[in-house]
Amino acid sequence: MIPMWRNILFCFLFPVLLVAADRPSAEHAYSLEDCIALGLQRSLDLSNARRGELLAVEKVRQVRARALPSLDASSSFTRLDEVPTFPGMEEPFGREDNYAAGVEASQLLYSGGGVRAALRAARDYRAFASEDTRRQQAELIRDIRQAFYEALYAEKAVEVAEASVQQLSDFEQQARTRYQNAAASEYDRLTAQVNLANERPRLVQARNRYELVMAALKDLILADGDDFVIEGELEYRPVDFTYEGLIETAARNRPELRQAQLNVQMREENIRVARSDYRPEIRAFANYKGTNPGDEDPSADDWEWGWNAGLSASWNIMDGGLKKAEFRTAELQRDIAVAEQENLRRAIRLEIRNAFLTLKHAEEVVLSTRETVALAEKALQIARVRYDEGLATHLEFADSNLSLNNAKLYHLMALKSHQQALAALDHACGTDLLGDNVEQAENEK
């Protein structure tokens, strides 16, 4: 038998448990992978790029239809106001109501290679649209990564500012107590209050910047709600690759380069289409038609059916120079595409070089500031001990505290720049260099 006190306790706790169960769960912290997945899922530009791929598929079908047989059905009804008669004849020749029906089949036999060239161009456009989706996806991932690292840095900057304010607040309280006990001068008390007052605006500024950066990240991935938080660390992961290797990687993987190549191919096919206009077009046709019998043969009740077949050829001999102008236009568009492809190669090489140099500089700053943070922490500890023993003023402690905060911020900024440079380098090369290097390092271990 259950004791009475347990029943009473259960009666009091059960409503509390129900309320706790109905409460929403804790905030979900989004990692970098979560943000990328959410951005790729919700991006409107990326959705339009996928629709562009579907449009390219339909374009291929449209061009292919020109080379396939066509079958047309037709019917007509004509009512005459007055049935014609031959001179000297009283009976009319024909009927007031006239019906006709038939089907006609047609097949393109020769077009000077224009249809094949147009089909190849349509297929190239389909591949072009696919590469455009890859390009927009890569740009979105780069932007999300850089915005995520910017948000992490802003979050860490708030933590540094909060720790500094807390430390100066504790120190100000200590200085006030020591002043009341006649163990410190009024100058030390006032200096501690001024330093604390000067540090609080920096905390407000850091919090405001964090809100702005988080709003930009949420807008980028189309995240809603005020409970959006992120999780992650600004870590330094050494990578090892050469500038020449990066150039080769970009030549194989960068979607923009593949798009430029496909654009040149499409322009070449357009030249072939324009050249085909100088050649004839030959078609085969066959039709089967029937009409209702006329009044000239009253004994005929069935429709009259018949068929015919043949070949048709058309050749535009003179058009006032239109074909020549179209052909020349296609050649100029091809030349422009070739020049744009070369400019793109040069621009990508410069993009890779800038990201590579930024990465190397960030690596050097990360390694140097890491040691600076350790030295600044030790200097602050020494300043605190000296102040407690009466060997130093509050100004010395405040300077050490400021130096530590700056060292931490410089180190965090270097980590952020390193991660953002990796994101830019990944995008410039059209691959995931960071992921490849980390996986290789883990395999070596």
Same domain, 234 and 297: no
Same domain, 341 and 267: yes
Measure the CA angle with vertex 14, ends 11 and 12; round to 5°. Answer: 40
Length of the chain measured in residues: 445
Residue range of the domain that includes 421 = 29-68+112-278+323-444
Residue 341 has pLDDT above 90, yes or no: yes
Q: What is the pLDDT of residue 14?
A: 37
Domain total of the chain: 2
Task: Provide the angle, in degrees to the nearest 10, between the axes of the packed helices 114-180 and 255-276.
Answer: 160
Same domain, 186 and 307: no
**Residue 320 CB coordination number (10 Å):** 7
Residue 141 resides in a domain: yes
Same domain, 243 and 295: no
Same domain, 147 and 75: no
Residue 235 resides in a domain: yes
Average pLDDT value for residue range 388-412 = 76
Residue 9 has pLDDT above 60, yes or no: no
**Residue 313 CB coordination number (10 Å):** 10
Same domain, 145 and 43: yes
Residue 165 resides in a domain: yes
State pLDDT tens for residues 176-197.
887 888 777 787 788 778 888 8
Residue 13 resides in a domain: no
Same domain, 182 and 232: yes
Residue 336 resides in a domain: yes
Same domain, 386 and 400: yes
State pLDDT tens for residues 233-281.
888 888 888 888 899 989 999 999 999 999 999 999 999 999 988 889 9
Residue 4 has pLDDT above 50, yes or no: no
Residue 12 resides in a domain: no
Same domain, 104 and 148: no
Same domain, 205 and 271: yes
Q: Is the pTM of this model over 0.85?
A: no
Q: What is the pLDDT of residue 22?
A: 37
Same domain, 302 and 359: no
Same domain, 153 and 218: yes
Q: Cα separation of 265 and 389, whole Å? A: 80
- Residue 143 maps to which CATH number? 1.20.1600.10
Q: Which residue has the higher pLDDT, 211 or 433?
A: 211
Among 314, 336, 362, the domain boundary falls at: 314
Average pLDDT value for residue range 411-426 = 91
Residue 3 resides in a domain: no
Average pLDDT value for residue range 350-356 = 93
Would you state the structure tokens that stand for residue 363, as one six-digit string?
């690596």
Residue 23 resides in a domain: no
